[in-house]
Amino acid sequence: MLLDRFRRWRQQRILQRHALPEVEWQSAVAELPLLHGLDADEHKRLRELATLFLYRKQVMAAEGYRLSEKVRIKIAAQACLPVLNLGLECYSGWVSVIVYPDEFVPGREYTDEAGVVHIDRLPMIGESWQRGPVILSAADVEHAGAVDGVNVVIHEFVHKLDMLNGDADGFPPLHRGMSAAAWTQAFTQAYEDFCRQVDSGAVTAIDPYAAENPAEFFAVISEVFFEKPHVLLAEYPQVYRQLADFYRQDPAGRF
């Protein structure tokens, strides 16, 4: 009891002492149509989560990029949207968000099945490390939140949620009362159907990158869940219901 009271007291002090600048917050929200459907209580809680996020995490620039307060707030607000009803504890165990001015090349080494070492030099707009940072392209952060179904911030932070129980595989730790069998059935059927569409050359309402693997499917589908929920509800209603239970949100009711 006393510990809980102390934690609440400390959180209120952080919110008071590190309150986000009003002008920058309102400007960031105005540029994020993704957030326009939130009600007053949701806006208030999202602002508090974003404040705590920026207090706990180091959001830093790379390659000479000048990181403005508004961009920091836009990252925090969108990162906190998936955990609006889950809490920042979901993002524990790591501290850094690194922001490049544009696409970046990680130069990561990996060994193939034949034992040959390769260096990955493909440009990326975002990356999440299991026990390390989230890395973002500022150019793509500026585009995120436009309710077009593509959101690099949500995508990479959803990977973090997926990694809470191990490697990203499209199967995050489910809440009590959720059915692992129902989740698996909904996502497996949707993923296989989507891959068939992409392989056939069909034009899809969802980013074809979702066919890359189950982890990317979960992340991309989550982007659509928050940005274009009616598209997901029409395409894969069972997946939508699973995500609504997982995120404890129903964005289709906001738009």
**Per-residue model confidence (pLDDT) at position 118:** 40
Strand, helix or coil for residue 96: strand
Contact 242, 186 (CB under 8 A): yes
Alpha-carbon distance values, 254 to 83, 228, 229, 230 (Å): 17, 10, 9, 10
Q: Which residue has the tokens 């607000």?
A: 77
In the block, tokens 């830093």 appear at 60
- How far is residue 246 from each of residues 117, 211, 239, measured CA to CA in Å? 38, 21, 10
Residue 61 CA to residue 75 CA, distance in Å, equals: 12
pLDDT of residue 89: 95
Q: How far apart are CA 146 and CA 148, in angstroms?
A: 6
Phi/psi for 106 (5° steps) reads -70, -30
What are the residue ranges in the chain where pLDDT is below 70? Answer: 1-4, 6, 9, 104-124
What pLDDT sits at residue 124?
Answer: 65
Cβ atoms of 222 and 243 closer than 8 Å: yes
Q: Which amino acid type is present at position 69?
A: E
pTM of the model: 0.90
Quick one: pLDDT at residue 143? 86
pLDDT of residue 204: 96
Per-residue confidence (pLDDT) for residue 44, from 0 to 100:
95
d(CA 182, CA 242): 8
pLDDT for res 9: 66
pLDDT score for 15: 75
Q: Per CATH, is 169-255 categorized as 2.60.120.920? A: no
Crossing angle (nearest 10°) for helices 2-17 and 40-56 = 90
Three-class DSSP category at 240? helix
Please give the Cα distance from 10 to 54 (Å, whole number). Answer: 15
CATH architecture under which domain 1-98+126-147 falls: Orthogonal Bundle (1.10)
Kindly report, as residue ranges, where domains of CATH 1.10.472.150 are found in the chain: 1-98+126-147
Label residue 107 left, alpha or beta by phi (over 0 means left) and psi (-120 to 50 means alpha).
Answer: left
Residue span(s) of the chain under CATH 3.40.390.10 come to 169-255
